[in-house]
Amino acid sequence: MDGSSLTRPKSGTDTIIVRHPDFYFSDGSVVIIVEKTAFRVHQSVLARHSEVFKGMWDVPQPQKTDTYDGCPSVVLQDSVNDFVDVMRVLYDAFHFDKIRPDTSLSHLITFISGILRISTKYNMQQLRNKCIAIIQDKFPSSLRGCDDVLTRGIQYVPSEIVRIIPLARETTVPKVLPWAFYLCAHISVDEILSNTVLSWKDKSLCLAGKERLWELQKKETHSFLLDFKQAPTCTTGCQARVMVPRQLKLSDIESLRINPHPLEEYTDWKSLMICIKCQAMVEAQHREGREKVWQKLPSLFHLGTWEDINKDQSC
């Protein structure tokens, strides 16, 4: 950046304003100053995406409008990095194409965070919807969607995606929270406690959720692995053969307790070596248990019901 990009505002303060190297257009019609960085952009472009920006300079001002470099100007209290991300979207038609199928979830969250924050704050509905669609593809709000992400084998690294929780709260995207909390219940207790992103309330919810998910896995979805009871119509004495409980070692149980995953679909029915009637019964229990867990999922983390969540999400 050359010296001409530095200037002092006419107010006479010693704050130095830096012109953004990519988004200070000589034919721009308005100047937006964010964290001491000036963006000279086109109001008509902003107005296409946001009623807030459309009206920002239209309403007759009771006082003289601030100007910068001969253009109407305004100072916004946002993060400059967030604002730059939105400018990239507005001025680069292919910005979202930078998301590749192999883009990591952590990078994806970083990519959309600023755009989601700014588009929410300034009511840029299309941009907001685009960001929400991108994250909801990875954070499902239906059991079918959950099955889909599990089948796709999406790599979730809970400690890297925990940022989605405060982001979703800040930008009112509650639909992603139940699955985000479900994943974060797999973070170790020590790591949750030392986490610098989550609030103490959300840390408590992760820890409590870990216990609740394990209880549901034991009692609802995978009870047949821990406390097998044969079907009333069983004629081969499956329970007496007690083959099933022996398949789980203490270390397996401990691992499940630490990383509860009641929504994991069990498919290895043949290995249980039980009769067809018992298998039909436990398959039905497992299926119904998963549906029950999914329905309860928001309430496990004090998020209300799915109906509450759908109502709260503003789009």
In the complex, the residues that contact Zn ion under the rule CB under 5 A are: 230, 234, 238, 275, 278
Least separation, in Å, of the C-beta of 272 and Zn ion?
10
Least separation, in Å, of the C-beta of 315 and Zn ion?
50
* C-beta of 149 vs 243, nearer to Zn ion: 243
> If we measure between CA atoms, which residue out of 1, 8, 47, 49 comes closest to residue 24?
1
Encoded tokens for 182: 């479900």
* C-beta of 30 vs 274, nearer to Zn ion: 274
Q: What angle do CA 280, 263, 153 make, to 5 degrees?
A: 110
Handedness of CA 105, 20, 36, 67 (dihedral sign): negative
* C-beta of 233 vs 314, nearer to Zn ion: 233
CB-side exposure of 12: number of CA atoms within 13 Å?
A: 0
Least separation, in Å, of the C-beta of 285 and Zn ion?
13
How much helix, strand and coil, in percent to the nearest 5, is found in the chain?
A: 55, 10, 35
DSSP helix/strand/coil, 124: coil
* C-beta of 93 vs 240, nearer to Zn ion: 240
* Contact between residue 27 and residue 40 where contact means Cβ atoms under 8 Å apart: no
Give, rounded to a whole angstrom, the gap between the first and last alpha carbons of the chain.
40
Least separation, in Å, of the C-beta of 303 and Zn ion?
39
Least separation, in Å, of the C-beta of 238 and Zn ion?
3
* C-beta of 189 vs 276, nearer to Zn ion: 276
Pairing relationship of beta strands 67-68 and 71-76 according to DSSP bridges: antiparallel
Q: Which residues, including other chains, have CB under 8 Å from residue 186's CB and lie 6 or more apart?
A: 158, 210, 259, 260, 261
* Contact between residue 76 and residue 57 where contact means Cβ atoms under 8 Å apart: no
* Contact between residue 38 and residue 17 where contact means Cβ atoms under 8 Å apart: yes
Least separation, in Å, of the C-beta of 264 and Zn ion?
24
Least separation, in Å, of the C-beta of 266 and Zn ion?
17
* C-beta of 143 vs 234, nearer to Zn ion: 234
* C-beta of 1 vs 240, nearer to Zn ion: 240
